[in-house]
Structure formats: structure tokens, C-alpha cells
């Protein structure tokens, strides 16, 4: 019995030192709680603005307080900050959102994986999980359909 107790104590100590570890993998939801589907005919209010607010209007980024690159994407202000507004950080003749032309919209260029259209600038959201392909496609569809305030 005494031997068994000592053995248990030694196993506890040895096992603890050997097995001391974290018991989790920090898997992040790539859609950040938003629906991960491509919306064919998106509404700005229901489908696009929630993506921008949830993924871009974060502390230190595109909130009214931080307004990085002069862009604040708070609810109710996001549309006016984007559509038809010159993209000052693009170094080119781009608008943040050019209605009917997603390929020339700086917003789309900055969130896509290909670095060439964004002139090698970091992909947005900066140092964060990228938007899902479905979320990007939803934004592209909204712009190509005229970037309506709907």
C-alpha cells in the first residue's frame, strides 16, 4: 500500500511535469459570427454594412475615434464614407467605392488576396483574419449592382 501511494505521488509529479500543456487550439470563426454565404442581390444595410462594422470598425482601426486612413465605418455613417469618396491612400485615381465598378473600387482591392491591385499595401483587415470569399463576393455584387443605399 505504501509503495502504491509513493508510486502515485511520483506519477503525479512526473506526469505533471511531462504533460504540462495548454489544452486548446485557438480556432477563430473565419466568418466572425456573420453568415458565410454569397448574397447575389445584397442590401447595403442587411448584408454589407454588418461585414464592414464587424470586421473594420474595431478599436484602433476604422472607428470614429481612430479613423485610420481618414475612414470611419461606424453604423449609419459607413455608406457616406465609402461611395463616391476618393481613396486618399491609394496613390491613384480610385474611389473607395465606385458604383458599378468593383474592379476599380479601392475597398475591394484592399480586401483581396492578390497584392498587385493594392500596390503591395497590406491586406485589410490589417493583421487580422481576411474576409471570407463569400463576404468579399457579397461586397463585389453590391458594388457591381450600383452600390445602392438600400
Residues that bind other proteins (CB under 8 A): 2, 5-6, 8-9, 12-13, 15-17, 19-29, 59-61, 63, 65-66, 68, 122-123, 125-129
Cα dihedral sign for 41, 127, 75, 95?
negative
CB of 101 to other proteins, least distance (A): 27
Residue whose C-alpha cell is 491612400: 89
**In this complex, which beta carbon is closest to other proteins, that of residue 8 or of residue 148?**
8
CB of 114 to other proteins, least distance (A): 15
**In this complex, which beta carbon is closest to other proteins, that of residue 11 or of residue 103?**
11
Residues recorded for the chain: 150
| CA angle, residues 64, 75, 141, in degrees to nearest 5 | 120
CB of 34 to other proteins, least distance (A): 14
Q: Is the peptide bond before 124 cis (omega within 30 degrees of 0)?
A: no
Amino acid at each position: 500500500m505504501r509503495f502504491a501511494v509513493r508510486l502515485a505521488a511520483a506519477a503525479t509529479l512526473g506526469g505533471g511535469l511531462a504533460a504540462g500543456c495548454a489544452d486548446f487550439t485557438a480556432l477563430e470563426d473565419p466568418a466572425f459570427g456573420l453568415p458565410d454565404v454569397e448574397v447575389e442581390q445584397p442590401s447595403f444595410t442587411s448584408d454589407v454594412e454588418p461585414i464592414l462594422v464587424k470586421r473594420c470598425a474595431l478599436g484602433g482601426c476604422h472607428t470614429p475615434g481612430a479613423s485610420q486612413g481618414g475612414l470611419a465605418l461606424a453604423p449609419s455613417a459607413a455608406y457616406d464614407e465609402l461611395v463616391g469618396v476618393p481613396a486618399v491612400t491609394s496613390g491613384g485615381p480610385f474611389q473607395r467605392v465606385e458604383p458599378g465598378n468593383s474592379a476599380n473600387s479601392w475597398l475591394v482591392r484592399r480586401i483581396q488576396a492578390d497584392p498587385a491591385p493594392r500596390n503591395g499595401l497590406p491586406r485589410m483587415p490589417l493583421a487580422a483574419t481576411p474576409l471570407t470569399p463569400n463576404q468579399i463576393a457579397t461586397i463585389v455584387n453590391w458594388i457591381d449592382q450600383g452600390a445602392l443605399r438600400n
